[in-house]
Amino acid sequence: MGVQEKCAEVEPKREALQHSGSHHGVVAAIFVGPEAQQPMTSVAEVRAIAGHGLEGDRYSRGAGTFAAKSPNQQVTLIEAEALEAAARDYELEIDAGETRRNVLTRNVALNHLVGREFRIGEVRLRGLKLCEPCGHLEKLTGKQMIKAMRHRCGLRAEILCNGPIRIGDPVIAG
């Protein structure tokens, strides 16, 4: 069974979840960075490409700052709640695009997805490791993010099948 067929199996489940009232996380925003060290661009939808990354993102072309071809570079996610906590606990206002993460989520504990498969809409992914803040991020933003965002700056994930990711898509562990 090819990648597309496996992804197609997810669609009926997605529709059922959207209509069942089940509690799940949701995609709140999507960002791609077409060029290394340049501002991220907000998009309403992006195509996930298994084994590569997000269409239009620098890492899918191997052109990011940390461009070693690795599943760790395919897609990154961050919780909206983490940004709200940084503002509340550290008085540090961080715009979602400034985090340089691709997918902003709401109502999903991303740290719990390390080592687990999950779905965003019809796209299957595997959480690989936490995406910790670093000096490079601080340099690009001019903000002292390391302390405020330690252990809550997101998740690195591998894309397991092709498909679209859209704002409003459910994020479902499983």
Longest dimension (CA), the chain: 50
* Torsion-angle region of 154 (φ positive above 0: left; ψ -120 to 50: alpha; else: beta): left
The whole domain housing 107 covers 3-173
- Which pLDDT does position 73 carry in this prediction? 79
Looking at the structure of the chain, the number of domains it has is: 1
The secondary structure of 125-162 as a DSSP string is EEEEEE----HHHHHHHTS--HHHHTT-S-EEEEE-S-
Its pTM stands at: 0.82
pLDDT along the chain (174 residues), means of 10: 48 42 81 81 96 87 58 88 94 91 96 97 96 80 83 93 98 90
The pLDDT score that the predictor gives to residue 35 is 72
> Could you tell me the CATH number of the domain that includes residue 55?
2.40.33.20
